[in-house]
Chain A
Amino acid sequence: MGNINRRTIVIALIFISIGISFVIKLFILQVYDPSYKFSAESNTRREIINYPARGLVYDRNGKLIVSNQADYDLMVIPRELKTMDSITFCNALEITMPELRSLFSDMKNKLRRRKISAIKPSIFYKQLSAKQYGYLQEKLYKFDGFFVQRRTLRKYEYPHAAHILGYVGEVGTQDIKRDDYYITGDYHGINGIESTYEKFLRGEKGYKYVLVDVHGREKGAFQDGKFDIPAIAGKDITLTIDIDLQKYGEQLMGNKIGAIVAIEPSSGEILTMVSSPNYNPSLLVGKKRAGNFSTLSTDSLKPLFNRPIMAWYPPGSTFKPLNGLIGLQENIIKPHSKVECHMGYTVGRFHQGCHYHYSPLDLRRSIANSCNAYYSHTFRGIIDNRKYGSVQEGFEVWKNYLVNFGFGYKLGVDFANENRGFVPNAKYYDKYYKKSWSSLTVVSLAIGQGELLTTPLQMANMTAAIGNNGFFYTPHIIRGIENDTIPSNFTTIHKTGIDEQHFAPIKDGMEMAVWSDEGTAAIARIPDLNISGKTGTAENPHGEDHSVFIAFAPKENPKIAISVYVENGGFGSRWAAPIASLMVEKYLNKDIHPTRKWTEKRMLEGDLIHGKE
C-alpha cells in the first residue's frame, strides 16, 4: 500500500490515537487503579421480601382451626461475608463450632451447584427461636452479610383433621419452574386444602428495596421506595367441616384403620373426613417437620395415606341399594317383586351363598335382610335384558348408572390426590374372559364384590344421592373464601338418572335394616332419630373382612349422609354401623343418648390394631 495518501494516514492516526487513549484509560480504570473496583460508592440493591401471613382457616361454625405464628430465619448474602467472631456467632445461635462449619460448607456446596446466588439473600439458619432471635439481633451488626427475615409458620389450634388441612413446606425446584411467583426458600401448601387453595391462602409477597454499599450497610430506600410493593395478606377460608364432629370421628376411629366420610346431602358439603390412623398436624410445622415426616412416612400403618379419598375398597352389601334402584329404573323388578332364597342363589351348578333368612322376600325386606339372591337375580335381569341385545350392551347400561352416581371417576373433590376407584366395563371382561362371559360370570358385582372398587368418599356421595332422591352436588371441603366465591363446579347439580319415585322403597328398606326386627343394623338405632342405613361386609382376601356401613338421617330431607369403613372389622354391624350411628347422633343431637353410652365406650376403646376389643 505504498501509494496511500498522506491524509489517509493522518485520519487513520486520529482513529488509532483515540483508540489507544481509550485502551489506556480503560486499563487504568479496570486494572491499574483498584479504587473503582472496591469503591465505597459502589451500590447494590438489596431486595427484602415481606412475607404475608397466610390466610386463616375456619370450620363451618366459625371456629378457628389454623392460624399463624411468627418465625425468624437467619439470611446470608455470601458475597458480603467478612471474617467474623465465630465464637460469638455460635453462642448466639446456640450451636457448636463443628455445626457452624457444616453450615458454612453446606452454603459453599450450594453456591458451587448454583442452587443459591452469591449476591442474593438465602436462608442460612432456619427458624430461630425467640431467644436466639433476641440475642442475635443485638449482635448482628458484627456479622457482615447476615440479616434476619421475619416470616410466619402455621399454627394448628386442634390436633385433628391433619389429612384435610395438609401442610406447608418449602417449594422445590419443580414448583419454582411451574410458577415464577416462588423463589427458593418460599413456603407453599403441599397437601390438603393448603395446596388446593394455595393461591388464595398465600397472599402476595411484598418487596422492599434498599440500597446497600460494598460493606453491606443499608443506605436507605432505593429511589425513595418507588418500587416497593406492600405485602398482601392471604385470604381467610372457611371449611365445610365441623371440627367437633371431626374430633369425635377421630376418637371413635382411634386404634382402628379405616375412614369416615360425612356429607350434607343438600349441598355436598363434607362435614367430616376421618382417615385413621392419623397424626397431629403440628408435627409437620417448622424445623421438626423433616424428621417427623420421615417417621410418619415409614410407619407401616401409613398414617399419611388419606384413606377417605385414596383407599379402594370393595363396597360389599352397601352397594345393594344402588342395584335395587337400577333394577327399578330398568323395570326389572317392582317394589313388591319377590325372589326365593334358600341359603343362597343357585343356577345349575352355580351357587352363591346367603345367610339364613325368611324366603321369599320383597325389595324392602331384601335390603333389611341383605339378601344376596335378590340382587343376583336383579343384576342378571338388568344385563341380560333382551332390549340391549348382548351382555356387553346390557353391562354398559348398568355401568353407566354407576358412573352417574360418581363411581369409576374422580368426583372432583377439592383435594389433589383423589383416586377414581374402579368400575370395570364390558371391554375389561371381554379381554379378561376372552369374550366368553355372561351375567353369571360377573354376578358377584350384584353384591358389591368382584372387581368393583370404590373410595369411602364415593360411597358417602352415593348415600347422599339416595337421601336426596336422585341428585348430588360434588362433595367439597370449601365453604367460603374471603371476598371471593367458591368454585362453581361445587354448586352445580348432578342427576343420577334414577326417577324420584324409585327411591321410596329403597329408603324404606334401609330404614328397616336399622329398625325392623329382622334388620341387620339394629345396633345403629338412635332414640328419637329416624336413621336409615345399610351394612356391608367387604370381602378381604388378605385377612378379616372390612366392616362397612352407610347411613343417612333423618329419613326425610336428610341432614347427614355417612359412610364408614373399618378395616378388618368383620361384619358391618360390628364396628362400622355403631360408629356411623354415633357420628350421626353426635352431629344431629349434639349428645349421645344415655342408653347408647356403652356402645360409645366400646367403640372408643376398641383396638383393632393391637388386637384388643
Chain B
Amino acid sequence: MAKNSLIKSIDWITVATYLILVIFGWFNIYAANYNPENPVFFDTSKEYSKQLIWIGLSIVIIWVIFMTDSKFYVTFSYFLYGLSVFLLFTVIFIGKEINGAKSWFEIGPVRFQPVELAKVATALTLARLMSRYGFTFNKRKNLLTIMVVWLTPVLCILLQNDTGSALVFFILILPFYREGLSGKILVFGLIAALVSVLTLIYPNAIILALIITGTFIFLAFNVNLKIIGTGITAGALGFALSLAVFYILGKEFRWDIFTITGAIFLTTHLAIKGFSKRLKVILPAMIFMWGAFSFTISSDYFVEKVLSDYQRNRVNVLLGFKDDPLGAGYNVNQSKIAIGSGGLTGKGYLQGTQTKFNFVPEQSTDFIFCTVGEEWGYFGTFGVVVLFVFLMIRIILLAEKQHSVFSRIYGYCVASIFFFHFTINIGMTIGLAPVIGIPLPFFSYGGSSLWGFTTLLFIFLKLDTNRSELIR
C-alpha cells in the first residue's frame, strides 16, 4: 500500500480526539505535580517529565503499528494471547507488588504491566474466534471456547490481586451482545453488575428500586405493556399505603420498607395476572426480583453485622475497593470537594488547592479527573465527558463500516474497554461508582497504561485503513 493512501485512509478525527485527550491529560498531570510554594517551571524528576517521554514513545508505537500489515494482527493474535497469558501467570510468581497487587514486571528501571498486553491480545483473539465462518453463540462448543479464552486472563489477574483490572474484561459482554448474544443475558449481566456494585455504595431503597426497574425492563421485552402498567399502579399503591401508615403512626420513614411493600403489591398483582393468563415469563422474573432483594439485604446484613471490621475490610479489598485508612468515604469525599470547588469555570490552571499535596489520593493517576474538575470547572469536566463519549461512539460507528468482521469485533472490544475505564474512573471520583483503582485512558499518569490504550486504539485505526478489505 502506498504511503499516501495510508495517510488518506487514517481516520484523522479519531486521531485528533486522541491527541486532545493526551495533551490535556499531560497539562493536568503537570498541574497535579505543580507546587505553588516552589514554582519550578520544569523539573526533570517530576512525573510530568516522565509522562512526556511516555507520550513520545507512544508516537513511536503508533508509527510501528501503522507500518505493520493488518494481517499480522489476525495471524499473530493467538500467539500474542498465549504470550500474555504466560506473562500474566508468571507475574504472579516473579512480579513486583505495588499497592497490594502483584501485577508488575520490573526489569531494571523499566516497569511493565502484562495486563495491558492481555487486553489487546484478548480483544484480538476473541475477534478472530468470533469472526470465523459460521460462528454463533448457539453452538455450545463455540460458547465454551469463548468462555475459556475470556476467563483465563481474568483468573490470572484475580490471582495477582488486581481485581480492578480483572473487572475490565467483563465489559466484553458488549461485543458479545453485538455479535448475537441474547439481549436478556446483557440485561441480566448489567443488572447483576449494577446491583452487586451499588449494594456497597447506596442505601438499600435505591437498589431495591433499581431491581424493580430492571425486572420491568426484562418484562417489557416479554409481556404486553398493559400488564406492566397495572403492575406499576399496584406497586405505587403499596408504596403509598405503607408510607401513609408510617405517617399516621408518626414513625421515621423507612424507604426500603415502603419499596418492599410496593414490591409485594406488584408481585401479588402480577402473580394473579400471570396465573390467569398463563404467562410463563412472570415466574422467573419474580424469582429473579425476590432473589435479588434477598441478596441485597442479606449481603448488606452479612457485611455490616456478621463480619468483623478486619474481615469487612478484607471483603472490601476483595471486591476491588481501595484500602481506606482514613475512614469510609474519605477519599471520595476529598475528591468530590476538589471537583465541586471548581465551580462552573474552575479556579484556573495551576490554581488548584485541593488536588495538591495529596489531599486527594493518587492525584496524578487514578484521581486525575479531580484536577480537571478543580482547575477547569464544569466546562472542563463536561468537555472531557463529551470527548470520551464521542470517541467511543466514533469507534463503534467506524466498526460498523468494516467489511471484515474481525475488525468490527475488535473495534467493539476497544470501545467497550474504554467505556469501562471511563465509567468506573470518572464514576468513582464523583461518587457514582466504587473506588476501583483503574486509570482514566490517556489522562492518568503512567507509561504502561498510556501505551496499552494507545496500542488498543491504533491497532483498530490501522485495521480501519483497510476497512474495505477482508482481513483474515
A residues contacting B by CB (< 8 A) are: 1, 4-5, 7-8, 10-12, 14-16, 18-19, 21-23, 25-27, 29-31, 33, 35-37, 39, 41-45, 47, 117, 119-120, 180, 183, 222
Asked if B354 and A30 sit within 8 Å, CB to CB, the answer is no
Across the interface, do A19 and B339 meet the contact criterion of CB distance under 8 Å? Answer: no
Given contacts A16-B389, A180-B38, contact A29 B336 (CB under 8 A): yes
Contact of B353 among A14, A37, A41, A44 (CB under 8 A): A44
B166: CB under 8 A from chain A? Answer: no
Q: Contacts A4-B400, A15-B389, A36-B341; is A26 near B381 (CB within 8 Å)?
A: yes
- Mark contacts of B291-319 with chain A using CB atoms, 8 A cut-off: 1 yes-contact digit, 0 otherwise: 00000000000000000000000000000
Contact between A23 and B385 (Cβ–Cβ < 8 Å)? yes
**Residue from A1, A11, A22, A120 within 8 A of B432 (CB atoms):** A22
Distance (Å) between the CB of A436 and the closest chain B CB?
58
| Bound Cα distance A21, B426 (Å) | 11
Main DSSP-derived SS at the B contact region: helix
List residues of B (333-379) whose CB comes within 8 Å of A's CBs.
Answer: 333-334, 336-337, 339-344, 351, 353-354, 356-357, 359, 373, 377-378
| Set of chain A residues within 8 Å of B422, measured between Cβ atoms | 18
| List of B residues within 8 angstroms of A120 by Cβ | 36-37
Q: Is the CB of B382 within 8 A of A119?
A: no
Measured CB to CB, the nearest residue on chain B to A45 is B357
Which residues of the partner chain B approach A1 to less than 8 Å between Cβ atoms? 397
Nearest Cβ on chain B to A182's Cβ, whole angstroms:
11
How far in angstroms is the closest Cβ of chain A from B28?
16
Q: Which residues of A contact B427 (CB under 8 A)?
A: 22
B266 within 8 A of A: no
Most A CB within 10 A of own CB, among B342, B386, B412: B342
Is the Cβ of B37 less than 8 Å from the Cβ of A30? Answer: no
Residue of B nearest to A5 (CB): B400
> In the complex, what residues of A have CB within 8 A of residue B392's CB?
15
Are the C-beta atoms of B400 and A26 separated by less than 8 Å? no
4 A-B pairs with the lowest CB-CB distances in the bound complex, closest first: A36-B340, A19-B389, A30-B378, A45-B357
Contact A18 B174 (CB under 8 A): no
Given contact pairs A8-B397, A14-B174, A119-B351, a sample of 4 additional A-B residue pairs in the complex whose CB atoms are under 8 Å apart: A15-B393, A19-B386, A30-B339, A36-B339
B130 contacts chain A at the CB level, 8 A cutoff? no
**A38 nearest in chain B by CB position:** B341
Closest-CB distance, B369 to chain A (whole angstroms): 10
CB distance from A589 to the nearest CB of B (A): 56
Residues A26 and B344 in contact, CB atoms below 8 Å apart: no
**Interfacial residues of chain B within 16-45, with CB under 8 A of chain A in the complex:** 36-38, 40
Q: For the complex, give the distance between the alpha carbons of A44 and B393 in Å.
A: 40
User: B111 interface residue, CB < 8 Å from A?
Assistant: no
Return chain A residues, CB-CB under 8 Å to B183: 7, 10
Most buried by B among A10, A26, A119, A180: A26
Measured between beta carbons, the chain B residues less than 8 angstroms from A12 are 393, 396
Complex contact B40–A180 (CB within 8 A):
yes
11 A-B residue pairings within 8 Å (CB atoms): A4-B397, A7-B183, A8-B396, A10-B183, A11-B174, A11-B412, A26-B378, A30-B343, A30-B344, A36-B341, A47-B37
Least CB distance from B40 to A in Å reads 7
B400-415 vs A: 1/0 string, CB under 8 Å?
1000000000001001
Report A-chain residues with C-beta under 8 Å of the C-beta of B354: 42-44
User: Once A and B bind, how many residue pairs between them come within 8 Å at the CB atom?
Assistant: 115
| Residue in A18, A41, A117, A180 whose beta carbon sits within 8 Å of that of B36 in the complex | A117
Chain B, residue nearest A42 (CB): B337
Docked CA distance A22–B382 (Å): 9
CB distance from A104 to the nearest CB of B (A): 22
Q: Do the beta carbons of A15 and B419 come within 8 Å of each other?
A: yes
Interfacial chain A residues near B397, Cβ < 8 Å: 1, 4, 8
Contact B36–A119 (Cβ < 8 Å): yes
User: Do A36 and B337 touch across chains, with their CB atoms under 8 A apart?
Assistant: yes
**Contact across chains for B419 and A37 when beta carbons are under 8 A apart:** no
Rounded to whole Å, the gap between the CB of B95 and the closest CB of chain A is 29
Is B388 located at the chain interface by the 8 A CB criterion? yes
Q: Is B254 an interface position by the 8 A CB rule?
A: no
A37-B340 in contact (CB<8A): yes
Q: Is B68 an interface residue (CB 8 A)?
A: no
* A30 close to B359 (CB less than 8 A): no
List the B side residues contacting A7 at CB < 8 Å: 177-178, 183
B289 is an interface residue with CB less than 8 A from chain A: no
Minimum C-beta distance from A231 to chain B (A):
16
- Complex contacts, A22 vs chain B, CB 8 Å: 385, 426-427, 430, 432
Task: Name the distance in Å between B258's Cβ and chain A's nearest Cβ.
Answer: 24
Contact of A41 among B333, B377, B382, B426 (CB under 8 A): B333
Q: B339 — which chain A residues lie within 8 A by C-beta?
A: 26, 29-30, 36
B423 interface contact, C-beta 8 A = yes
Output the nearest chain A residue to B399 by Cβ-Cβ distance.
Answer: A8
Q: Is the CB of A8 within 8 A of B178?
A: yes
Question: Known: A22-B385, A27-B378. Is A11-B177 also a contact (CB below 8 A)?
Answer: yes
Chain A residue at minimum C-beta to C-beta distance from B382: A23
Residues of A within 8 A of B412 (CB): 11
CB of B377 within 8 A of CB of A30, answer yes
Q: What are the residues of chain A within 8 A of B36 when measuring CB–CB? A: 117, 119-120
User: Measured between alpha carbons, how far is A449 from B41 in the docked complex, in Å?
Assistant: 55
Select from chain A the residue with minimum beta-carbon distance to B379.
A30
Cα distance, A180 to B37, chains bound together (Å):
11
User: Contacts of B378 on A, CB cut-off 8 Å?
Assistant: 26-27, 30-31
**A15 CA to B393 CA, complexed, in Å:** 8
Are B340 and A8 in touch, CB under 8 angstroms? no
Smallest Cβ-Cβ distance to B356: which chain A residue: A45
Give chain A residues whose Cβ lies under 8 Å from the Cβ of B351.
119
Q: Chain B residues near A4: list those with CB within 8 A.
A: 397, 400
Report the minimum CB–CB distance from B179 to chain A (whole Å).
9
